[in-house]
Amino acid sequence: MLRKLYDWVFSLARHRHATRSLAVVSFAESSFFPIPPDVMLAPMVLAKPERGYFYAAVCTIASVLGGLLGYAIGYFLEPVGLQMLAWLGKADTFETSKALFQQHGAWVILIKGLTPIPFKLITIASGIFQFNLALFIALCVVTRGARFFLVAFVLKRWGPPMLAIVEKRLALFTVLFLVLLIGAFFMVKLIGH
């Protein structure tokens, strides 16, 4: 079933309403839909590289708005949010996740938002754990924007061959990005003192 859903989303990238469909998929993926918007974003950028950053912006805005729905599900409808986490196989790690969010919530959102881990896990958990809403929105903009604009940049710059390399080594690229991000954070702290 997931494969059919994946193929259907991929086919939307060639539709005349592809940009709207991209926004809907990006919105839905952040709160309940299982297929990431990258499935549409990549072929759309490859087909029209000059619109790559526009498509990345559409993904980012829609994903953040969908993240707010995920947050609301967790915050206002906690039993529904917990059930959704159970469907995603994450209910058994609830207490561990809660402790992690309480100690390192911002880092959890930043790191997980860049990875292929379903973003809805983060948005719903953020609501359940009542993470600061303004900070949640800011972190979603940063992490989702970084992810989608990176995809657009890579595809515009190097095309399909580079995308294959990035997909194959996504974990490595994520770790490198995080090392740079954490290093920059500590440099700012050191300079500020």
What's the rounded mean pLDDT across residues 47-76? 95
Angle at alpha carbon of residue 180, lines to 57 and 45, rounded to 5°: 25
What's the rounded mean pLDDT across residues 66-74? 97
As a whole number, the mean pLDDT across the chain is: 83
Name the one residue in this structure whose structure tokens are 């994903």. 63
What's the rounded mean pLDDT across residues 6-24? 83
What is Dmax (Cα atoms) for the chain? 54
SS3 133: helix
What's the rounded mean pLDDT across residues 102-110? 86
CA-based nearest residue to 41, from 138, 171, 167: 167
Q: Which of 78-87, 128-137, 148-157, 180-189 has the lowest mean pLDDT?
A: 180-189
Where does the pLDDT of residue 184 fall: very low under 50, low under 70, confident under 90, or very high at 90 and above?
low
Kindly state the tokens that stand for 18. Answer: 């592809």
Q: Which of 8-17, 59-68, 139-148, 149-158 has the lowest mean pLDDT?
A: 8-17
CA-based nearest residue to 22, from 36, 2, 3: 36
What's the rounded mean pLDDT across residues 22-28? 95
Where exactly are the structural domains of the chain?
2-159
Kindly state the tokens that stand for 94. Answer: 């609830």
Interatomic CA distance for residues 87 and 118, integer angstroms: 12
